[in-house]
Structure 1
């Protein structure tokens, strides 16, 4: 393992300085102490013990600062609903022995914002002994199903937590498939414009990461186009209002072509229609022979 170049250069300069001084002088003693400290750091780095040595150094510094009256006595937390206080403190690196001067507030903020639930964090040191931590948490926006697993996701698609029976999650819209989490806003906001349709949607399935198919609660699949989703949903809402299309005995409603709506009948409905057409044809033939 190589020592960082900056530390090597510093050690060389120190050795040159020592070579021209008397160790019996006060300045020489301080230089010797600095040289020995640098040697100790080098040895710790070579032995892979540098993080432990630095942590011990911080502990010693905290003890000194605490004696001087800078021990963190008050911690004000605000904005947390899903993250526990113990998780916040542990993530921020705050221990019972931590002191205010040697707490890296910026590093604590960065670590807190790495937690899935936390969108934004502010860490403020108020001397001599108070720390304020303000959090803005992400909110569950939808449920994302992929590979048989369901997770709660935020508006930006960030996975927040595995799905549970928490009442806050039960009514969230469901999106399914690869890429669905990245495009969740577009389909959720489009469905909000047609509440009559939205209430009948069981899930929105992302197809080939290009378009959506809506799985309705009664089993009908509504195939939406890649573009013009808002217009297609408005058309679907109108058809359902005027023709009750979403309650018909059909399996597929295809809205992918801008100039037509295609439907696929269920097997039972198809057989019934074929029988009806045959009966009409037979009646028409019989009427023509009379």
Structure 2
């Protein structure tokens, strides 16, 4: 009688061992990658490893305090060259009162390059702000600047500046300059010249009325009395107020 011996296969146990071995290896690889990423991030964040050594400012500027601005940038971006956020630096720089426009970029291996376009003040606005050539206001210290003073309701900055520019161009033919210009709520124009004369130009045709003043002023300047103000809101004439006098003289012209 022939006996048969049955053999029990151990293949399933080998498969399980191989599977667990693969899982352990995969977990090891993941852990190594995470550890490497943490170390790399720490290296990039560490200012001592790759510091921003140079902040290079360029452009045409007079009022921007570069020392203060560089200090602000380094305080807001304490990390390394890799960790520095160019967009955040850009927003910080353009938020400065005297900065009109800026561009910011990194230059390998340790330089931050910043190009500045400075605000160009052309007038003071309502005592506490400055106006640039585009009629935009900005809040900067301009107390020591010899600029004309413009006043008007909120939102009239561009209108006031356009009016000032037109009047200034017309007065360029004379020796008189505008010291102060006011635009009322009803958009009536009043001007004070550097020689102290006040002009009331009203709401309409203020350029034509200013030209009328230029035409008539040589005759008024010949008088012994000093002109204090001139009201030009008449169609064909002017009303003149004199210094140290309570009376007005109306000059009707044809």
Instruction: Give TM class, smaller chain.
Output: 0.5 to 0.7
Of 53, 58, 61, 2:44 maps to: 61
Secondary structure of 2:239 counterpart: strand
Give the TM-score normalised by structure 1: 0.60
Asked if 1:236 corresponds to 2:213, the answer is yes
Corresponding residue number in structure 2 for 1:279: none
Asked if 1:226 corresponds to 2:203, the answer is yes
Q: CA deviation at 1:214?
A: 0.8
Q: Distance in 2 between matches of 1:196 and 1:157?
A: 28
Contact 2:166 2:207 (C-alpha < 8 Å) held by counterparts: yes
Corresponding residue number in structure 2 for 1:186: 162
Cα RMSD (Å): 4.0
Give the TM-score normalised by structure 2: 0.67
- Considering fraction of residues, name the structure with more helix: 1
Corresponding residue number in structure 1 for 2:132: 154
Corresponding residue number in structure 2 for 1:100: 81
Distance 1:83 1:231, change over 3 A: same
Of 148, 151, 161, 1:176 maps to: 151
Tell me the number of residue pairs that the alignment of Structure 1 and Structure 2 aligns.
220
Corresponding residue number in structure 1 for 2:9: none
Asked if 1:212 corresponds to 2:193, the answer is no
Corresponding residue number in structure 2 for 1:143: 124
Corresponding residue number in structure 2 for 1:202: 179
Secondary structure of 1:122 counterpart: strand
Distance 1:218 1:121, change over 3 A: closer
Structure 2 residue ranges without an equivalent (≥5): 1-19, 34-39, 250-254
Structure 1 residue ranges without an equivalent (≥5): 1-21, 35-56, 274-290
Q: How does 1:1-290 map to 2 (within 5 A)?
A: 25-28=24-27, 61-63=44-46, 67=49, 70-79=50-59, 80-92=61-73, 97-145=78-126, 149-155=127-133, 156-164=135-143, 166=144, 169-170=145-146, 172-179=147-154, 181-193=157-169, 194-195=171-172, 199=176, 201-208=178-185, 210-217=187-194, 220-244=197-221, 251-257=228-234, 259-266=235-242, 268=245, 270=247
